[in-house]
Amino acid sequence: MGVPDRMDEELRALGLVEAQRKATALFAEVGARRLVVPGAGEREVSDRIRDLANEMFGTTKHWHKRIVRSGPHTLFPYQENPPDRVIGEDDIAFADFGPIFEEYEADFGRTFVFGDDPVKHRLREDLATVFAAGRSAFQADPDITGERLYAEVERLAAEAGWTLGGWHAGHLVGEFPHETIDGAKTESYIVPHNDHPLRRTDRAGWRCHWILEIHLVDKRNGFGGFYEQLLDLA
């Protein structure tokens, strides 16, 4: 297979944007149907969202494990596997899903707050704010590296009064499974020590596209929140 041409690249970008559009619609329906609610277990909610994706789009595959976490479980990074937990009345919860639409990966995360705790509500609002500021930093610097963007997201989180909950702030995304595109782990993530420009081509000659992940945590109060979607495409 030769180096992709402009049309190939445009079709691929459109596929990723369409996958995100469907993920956005999925999560809007999750909210409308109140699938994430106090009294439901995390696994139960995960299954509800899985089934809704199938109902709406015929989606049966997810490129990474389906995550629903609540309360203190929201502090855990992706690789952890805490036991099932029932969502509480005054809780915070997030869902992180990677549905595959027409072989294109989406990666989408949103946070839900129940009750009137002002700190939880502020954290949820700050997730989108930090994401937007991180995207602005990416757009403003044509040569930005993974290391520089991670540092900026870390700074933005600290400025808002939070810390980052994971070891990275995003990753490559593409056709399923994207993890086979670039085997160099550091180069594939928005992470310290990744001194490669994010705007580059991968080993197969395709333009790199990125997901930006914002996992903010309040260690003192014992909870966190999560927000993610495409960084370089809209």
Domain ranges of the chain: 6-230
Cβ proximity of 116 and 101 under 8 Å: no
pTM above 0.85, yes or no: yes
Q: How far apart are CA 150 and CA 169, in angstroms?
A: 6
User: Is residue 42 pLDDT above 70, yes or no?
Assistant: yes
At 89 the three-state DSSP class reads coil
Cβ proximity of 99 and 49 under 8 Å: no
User: Is residue 175 pLDDT above 80, yes or no?
Assistant: no
Q: Across the chain, what does the average pLDDT equal?
A: 93
Please count the other Cβ atoms lying within 10 Å of the Cβ belonging to residue 219.
11
Q: Which of 44, 98, 94 is nearest to 70 (CA)?
A: 94
Per-residue tokens: 112 = 């839900």
User: Is residue 180 pLDDT above 50, yes or no?
Assistant: no
Please count the other Cβ atoms lying within 10 Å of the Cβ belonging to residue 60.
10
Q: Give me the mean pLDDT over the 30-53 stretch.
A: 97
Q: How far apart are CA 78 and CA 128, in angstroms?
A: 19
- pLDDT range class, residue 153, cuts 50, 70, 90: very high
User: Is residue 111 pLDDT above 60, yes or no?
Assistant: yes
- pLDDT range class, residue 102, cuts 50, 70, 90: confident
Q: What is the pLDDT of residues 113-151, one digit of tens each?
A: 999 999 999 999 999 999 999 999 999 999 999 999 999
Q: Residue 26 has what pLDDT?
A: 96
For the domain covering 6-230, report its CATH number.
3.90.230.10
Q: What is the pLDDT of residues 206-223, one digit of tens each?
A: 999 999 999 999 999 999
User: Is residue 154 pLDDT above 70, yes or no?
Assistant: yes
Express as a percent the part of the chain with pLDDT over 70: 95
- pLDDT range class, residue 181, cuts 50, 70, 90: very low
